[in-house]
Structure 1
Amino acid sequence: YHIAETRLRNVPDDLERAEFNYQLSIAYYEIAQNHFSINHAKKALESFKSADLQESRVATTLMVIASNKMDLTQFEQAESTFKDAINLAAESNIDLTQALGYFNLGICYERQGKLQQALECLQNVLSVELRKPHKTLYMRTNYMLARVLFQLDQKAEGLESYNESLKLANELSDNAYIAKLNIIHSIYITGDEAQLDATLNALKNQNLWTDAAELSIMAARFYKKQDNHKLASKYFDDGLESQAKKLSWMEEIE
């Protein structure tokens, strides 16, 4: 990207510059450099807004900004920006972007414990009529639906979403999501500590430290509510260890 940036000076096309900044914002987001990501996304957004017929790129760039705000726990700004992206996509009949907006807004609500609002957003994802079936989005949405429904103690409905997501994860050979599905099943349905530990380790072996930390802490909170202080302490510690590993891993990338 740095090499490309030096050569971009010779490119007169404003949209090419916007596309470069958009892709760079995603790259920075992936390595948790949120402020750099927002900066490049805002540059891209300015150019996309000034160009005709760029509604799709404006909406997806807004979602990159909102995702960064969410990771920075600036939830009110994240919610507002996700809604802007959803409204623009709906007005422009960009179905996949609209569905992705609802998906990400659902995650934003779930992170804040606004489970009913998260549930409504995730159900909206499945209600958007996509021009093409999108197995990956359906898999991820059903996974998040299962998470939310299990937390709402709606186990029967949660299992339906879990089974649908697991079927798609197997079809796509997505080992990360198979592990994540097994984790929430172990926490909320079977209470299988050995299976929970094995699948958390599967995420760690793939360097998926963010997911490992998030799901460990989810397990800890569940066991805390059950007054199982031994397991709650174990998984809180496990979550903190995964967060530390994530920071170390990011430093190695940089």
Structure 2
Amino acid sequence: MSTDIAPEMLGAKIVEWYRCIVARDMEQVITLKNEVERFVETTEIHDEKVLSFYSLVMFRYQLLMEDFQKRKVIPPDLEVINKNDSVYDGLLKFLYYFMSGQAEFYQGRYKSAIRLYRIAEGLVNHIQDKSEKAEFFYRLGESYYRIDQYTFAVAYIEQAIDLFEQQQFYKEKILNCKLLLAAINTELSLFEKAESVYQSVLSEAKDFPTTHALILRSLGMNRTRQHKLEEARQYFMQALNTGNHMESVVGMKTQGDLANVLFRLQCDYDYALTLLQEAKSRAVEYKNQEYLARCTVTETLFVNESNEEQLLEALKRLEEHKLYFEYYEVAEEIAIYYEERGIIDKAFFFMKEATKYRINPTLLGVE
């Protein structure tokens, strides 16, 4: 039998749940989720604001658990929620645009995500909790990173670090922020600067398996971009054997990257093929356009007969989704493949393609 419950009580419990999600306190996240769901399922709730808050935080939980990325859930109809402005205070408006932005981000629509985040930024003063503000600035910086706007990315990530450092129990979040700064330096070929950060955070991440695996993966990417393939292989394998990285969405990417490195090293062909097939299948399932393109290129170069049309289609996929750094990186890899085999005309063609999106760190002002 359903009963009434004070909206303030349920709202307070949802706030507590949300803060644990932000902090990635997984034990408390699961416990509070179950408590909140029992409240919602067994009581009559008449306050639309609380129901809207519940829908938004549940979506935030699904993002944390990668359910959205794995296509296991449909995002809430946020447009319907937003039509009735009368039920919104500043926090709900902020969360609406923040969650909408995250939905766009995880579907690879990074510029759309930034547009929504910028609206949320205008409401950020409604957020009193510094950790929530820090989480928001981190996500905004991450989105700018994905569209190669590194100056903006660094500025927002540094704001996030400043706020996280003012809070207790946010060491893992700070490590994630620093990891993103190191990734920016890697993409700008500032390898020594990136290495210093990677080694610093690696030594601090042993108690955080998810982040530890991400750092190992990032070191693998760092080595791949320096063409130190044997070192890259070792880091990717360590990442896949750390925590639950293999089962995560990012783990799918690591599988594809390791397969690529193994093919380029001309070793463990059967294992490389198994990894590639699984990574490509998961990329299709998750509708991850970047790794669909990357796996197609690896397959075309090293498994099937090299087919220039398929390579160009893969590059077009990256360009259409505005993955310009990735376009440069993949085109350069194709050029190197042909150069190593003495096919100079094709090597020259794909190197010209790569230079279309080569990033100059000096012009970006972050060198």
TM bucket (normalised to shorter chain) is: 0.7 to 0.9
The 5-angstrom pairing of residues 78-93 of structure 1 reads 78-90=194-206, 93=207
* Structure 1, unpaired ranges of 5+: 248-254
Alignment partner of 1:113 is 2:227: yes
Deviation at 1:203, TM superposition (A): 2.9
- Name the CA distance, whole Å, in 2 between partners of 1:16 and 1:205: 33
Contact 2:240 2:246 in 1 (8 A): no
Equivalent runs, 1:36-51 vs 2, <5 Å: 36-51=152-167
Report if the CA contact (8 A) 2:175-2:205 is conserved: yes
* Cross-structure match for 1:57: 173
Superimposed CA distance per residue, residues 192-247 of structure 1 (whole angstroms, 9 cap, x where no aligned partner): 22322333333333333332222111111111111111111121122223x17x99
Out of 309, 329, 339, the position equivalent to 1:214 is 329
1:160 aligned partner, one-letter code: T
Which one-letter code corresponds to 1:38 in the other structure? Answer: V
Aligned to 1:124: 238
Which residue number in structure 1 is paired with residue 75 of structure 2?
Answer: none
Structure 1 residue 159: Cα displacement? 1.9
Distance 1:168 1:6, change over 3 A: closer
- Corresponding position: 1:144 with 2:260: no
- Per-residue deviation, 1:2: 4.6
Runs of 5+ consecutive residues of structure 2 not aligned to the other structure: 1-116, 361-367
| SS of structure 1 residue aligned to 2:205 | helix
Give the residue type in structure 1 aligned to 2:260: R
1:155 to partner: Cα distance: 5.8
Q: Is contact 1:34–1:72 with CA below 8 Å preserved after alignment? A: no
Q: Which whole-Å CA distance do the structure 1 matches of 2:307 and 2:274 have between them?
A: 20
User: CA contact under 8 A between 2:147 and 2:322: conserved in structure 1?
Assistant: no
CA distance, structure 1, for counterparts of residue 194 and residue 337 of structure 2? 26
| Structure 2 residue 278 is matched with structure 1 residue 134 | no
Query: What is aligned with 1:104?
Result: 218
Q: Tell me if the contact between 1:22 and 1:41 (Cα under 8 Å) persists in the aligned partners.
A: yes
How far did 1:35 drift?
A: 2.4
Q: Residue 146 of structure 1: CA displacement?
A: 1.3
| Rg (Cα) greater in structure | 2
Q: Does 1:187 align with 2:330?
A: no
Give the structure 2 partner of residue 251 of structure 1: none
Kindly indicate which of the two structures has a greater share of residues assigned to helix: 1
| Structure 1 range deviating more: 14-23 or 50-59 | 14-23
Q: Confirm or deny: 8 A CA contact 1:106 1:118 kept in the other structure.
A: yes
The match for 2:144 is: 28
Cα distance between partner residues in 2 of 1:32 and 1:187:
27
Mapped to 2, the partners of 1:20 and 1:72 lie a distance apart of 25
Identity %: 25
CA RMSD of aligned residues (A): 2.5
Structure-2 change in CA distance of 1:209 and 1:25 (3 Å): closer
How far the C-alpha of 1:23 sits from its partner, in A, is: 2.4
Larger deviation, residues 9-18 vs 72-81: 9-18
Contact 1:176 1:203 in 2 (8 A): yes
**1:170 Cα shift?**
3.2
**TM-aligned CA deviation for residue 153 of structure 1:** 1.9
Instruction: Give the whole-Å Cα distance in 2 for the aligned partners of 1:155 and 1:228.
Output: 25
The two structures have a TM-score, normalised by structure 2, of: 0.60
Q: Which residue of 1 aligns with 2:20?
A: none
Give the letter aligned to residue 352 of structure 2.
Answer: D
Corresponding position: 1:171 with 2:292: no
TM-score (norm 1): 0.84
Instruction: Give the distance between the partners of 1:182 and 1:10, measured in 2 at CA.
Output: 46
* DSSP 3-state at the match of 1:32: coil
Distance 1:17 1:169 in 2: 32
Deviation at 1:171, TM superposition (A): 3.3
Partner Cα distance (1:10, 1:203) in 2: 37
SS in 2 for 1:138: helix
Cα distance change, pair 192–88 in 1 and its aligned pair in 2 (3 A): same
Q: Following the alignment from structure 2 to structure 1, what is the Cα–Cα distance between the partners of residues 126 and 223?
A: 43
Q: Residues 31 and 201 from structure 1, CA distance in 2 versus in 1: closer, same or farther, beyond 3 angstroms? A: closer
Question: Once the 2 structures are TM-superposed, how far is the Cα of residue 10 of structure 1 from its aligned partner?
Answer: 5.8
Count of residue correspondences: 242
